[in-house]
Structures are given as structure tokens and as C-alpha cells.
Amino acid sequence: MSQLKTTATPLILLLAVASTLGEMEPSEEEARIIGGQFAAPGQFPHQVSLQLKGRHHCGGSLISETMIVTAAHCTRGQSPSQMMAIVGTNDLSAGNGQTFSIAQFIIHPQYNPQSQDFDMSLIRLSSPVPMGGSVKTIQLAESDANYAADTMATISGFGAINQNLQLPNRLKFAQVQLWSRDFCNSQNIPGLTDRMVCAGHPSGQVSSCQGDSGGPLTVDGKLFGVVSWGFGCGAKGRPAMYTYVGALRSWIKQNANV
């Protein structure tokens, strides 16, 4: 297996995935369809689109009427007044989502922007989100939650769908495999810590991409990971990294009361 680079690349801007990066340029059709499906209305009622100055910036997950979980790199250096949260839609161009202003960012105090360790942030909304229909909270994985290698997880997001970082406006989702610590460890992936889990497809054809940062990785209907960083979108043999919710469960409880 080729050596992985050590620089963590946040997935700031899903589900675009193509063949091995740098080896083969995907056709337009491949880039559009490989790596996921478009979500049906209400299929992911916890999904959030974080909008920065009116444009999709990152994903997030609604965990209470007033709190969202996302990645720290999505909020670091940003102002709550410049960001809005849209919930309850699978199509950002349809105008049927609910928009909420943001009161506060709570970035994990140990977040390291160089390594992306502790890459988690809580967002407190200015007003409660009415629950029901296409808007629901997601349950968090417990602090001791763990799964066997190759367990299937679900990723979802409004992120890029091709190498040109085209944003689709429509929510996509895909199934990915959790990777075992036999490979997903700091010896094989320099910089990986106990606050990170790996997921993807060995072929590289299913992964998160720019625009999916902060979005959910779910297992058994619970939030198990938060899209954090990777080595490009869908590179062969290289998984995407997700902030491990279980490792930061007590911090979330302390700051979000969830």
C-alpha cells in the first residue's frame, strides 16, 4: 500500500467519488453517479446545511431543539452572525427548509487545526427548532460504542459530487465500511488519534468530499462520527477520517446537555 501523506486535509466544502485520484480522470457521468444516491424527502431529518454568507459551507447533525454537532474546522475563524443553519430539506434550491440564525459556536478546547484532532464543534441556535415531519434529532452513540471492522455505516451531505467540487444542492447518501484498527492506526496513517475513526471503501469509490465536513456518519441510526478530514475524495486504499463521537461524548453532554 502506498504511503499516506501526513498533512490532514479538512473536507471543508460528499459523496463525490471517483477512481484513484491522480491516476485516472473520471468521466462526467462517473463523477455524477459513483458513490451515492440522492436522498428522499425526510430520509435524513437530522441533516443540517450550514450556510456561510448564503452558500453551503458544511454539514451538521441536529441533536436537540437548539444544538447542532459539526466539525471544529467548520466554525473556527467564522462568526456566528455570518452563518445560518437550514434544516428539514433534501434540496437546498427548493426553498422548503427552515432557516435559523446562530447564537454561539462552542469549539472543543483541544481542537488542533494542524492535526484535526478533537475536530468537533457545537452550534447553539438562536431559537428552538420545531420538531416533527422532516425535522428530527439524532441520537448520539454511547461513549463505549464500538463496531467490528466492515460494519456498514451511512454518510450523508450536500457536498461536492465530482472532482470540480460541484455542489448539487440535493442531499446525497452512501454506505461505507468502518475500517479496523489493524489498518486504521497511527503507524499506517500518521496523525491518526483515538478521537478518529476511519471509514470508506477499499476501491475509493465511496467517500465524503468537500462540503461534507461536519456531517454525520451513522451506525444503527445513531451518530457515530463527524466528517473531518481525508486524502482527497475517494482515493483508492485511503479512507476518510471521522471524529469519533464516543470519545467526545462526555464533552458533548457537558456543553449541550444531550
Active-site residue set:
73, 119, 213
- Classify residue 80 by burial, with Cβ atoms within 10 Å: 0-12, 13-18, 19+: middle
- At 32 the three-state DSSP class reads helix
Helix (H, G, I), strand (E, B) or coil at 23: coil
Q: Which residues pair with 177 in a beta bridge?
A: 152, 200
Q: For 57, phi and psi rounded to 5 degrees?
A: -120, -45
Q: What are 212's three cell numbers?
A: 461534507
Enter the C-alpha cell of residue 229: 478530514
Cβ proximity of 1 and 237 under 8 Å = yes
The C-alpha cell 484513484 sits at 20
Q: Which three cell numbers stand for residue 93?
A: 434550491
- Paired residues of 117 in beta bridges: 112
Residue 148's Cβ-count burial label (10 Å; 0-12, 13-18, 19+) is exposed
Are the C-beta atoms of 69 and 138 separated by less than 8 Å?
no
